[in-house]
Amino acid sequence: MAMSSLPPVLHDSSHLLTSIIITNSPALSKAKGILMNTFEWFEASILAALNKDRVIKNLPPILPIGPLEPYHVPHDDGGDQYRSWLENQPAKSVVYISFGSRTAMSRDQTRELEKGLEKTGWGFFWVLKTSKVDKDDQEDAEHFLNESFLEKTKDKGLVIKGWVEQQEILGHPAIGGFLSHCGWNSVMEGALHGVPMLAWPQHGDQRLNAQVMEDAGLGLWERNWDWGPNSIVKGEDIEKKIVELMTDEKLRGRAKKVRDEAKKAVGRGGSSDMVIRELVNFLTISF
């Protein structure tokens, strides 16, 4: 683990989040186990280090029960526009772009991403977020993006602002790649659907997640794309990595392997399925 991959706030013991972690972490030793949204095959060496070598004294066992799928309550989510658009795209022809619900890209970086997408020649589905807090996200996509970009890409791209059903999108046959901040839920969703990922960590634990994702064979991580608001990745570099993401057949094969292992883990008798059954049995006996 590189020191540069640790969340920056953890280097500051006076930071509120860090102080909370320091204060609360000792309580973990009182737990019987820690449920984690991951699966044995995906992080075998890490789980072995924690569970067998016991690298941390008094840490309870990590219990992998993922990849977890969200429980969907039927409702009108306004997704008819992007669903119909996806249905009209060729298989594996669209790169899905999302940086999560708490990451807003700067206008300068957005311009460079526009340049990269325009030059790739691939279709794209971009979930655009312009502020960290949803209620402050007032501008329409048309007002935030370059008019010339929207005009040149109107036949091959779709830009959405607002909530989307990411699991549904990643499972669509049209999606051939996923440009992601590498939040852990996104990593697990990408794994479950076997969508090759291009990691672009922004903050928090996302560099660590990108390393795990790359080691598992699910995708690519360009380490020179620094995180944080002060670094700008150029459009030509974005173009190059997206083309690699969408054309590397060996990568696609590795991602398919990840998908197969993920589905095996949550299937009947799989590693995650067995952990849940053992947990239920333990709780039944205990109570």
208 with 273, same domain?
A: no
The pTM for the full model equals 0.91
256 with 272, same domain?
A: no
29 with 113, same domain?
A: no
Helices and strands counted in the chain (H then E): 12, 8
Q: Percent of the chain having pLDDT more than 90? A: 70
Q: Is residue 123 part of a domain?
A: yes
Main-chain dihedrals φ then ψ at residue 177, nearest 5 degrees: -165, 160
Q: Is residue 104 part of a domain?
A: yes
64 with 169, same domain?
A: no
46 with 110, same domain?
A: no
Can you give the pLDDT at residue 146? 87
Return the SS3 of 159: strand
Label residue 136 by pLDDT band (50, 70, 90). Answer: very low
Q: Is residue 108 part of a domain?
A: yes
Q: Is a pLDDT exceeding 80 seen at residue 244? A: yes
CA distance readout (Å), 130 to 1, 146, 200? 31, 14, 17
189 with 64, same domain?
A: no
138 with 162, same domain?
A: yes
pLDDT in tens, 169-220: 999 999 999 999 999 999 999 999 999 999 999 888 999 999 999 999 999 9
Can you give the pLDDT at residue 129? 80
Q: Is a pLDDT exceeding 80 seen at residue 230? A: no
Range of the domain at 29: 18-70+268-286
Q: Is residue 13 part of a domain?
A: no
Residues, the chain? 287
Q: Is residue 11 part of a domain?
A: no
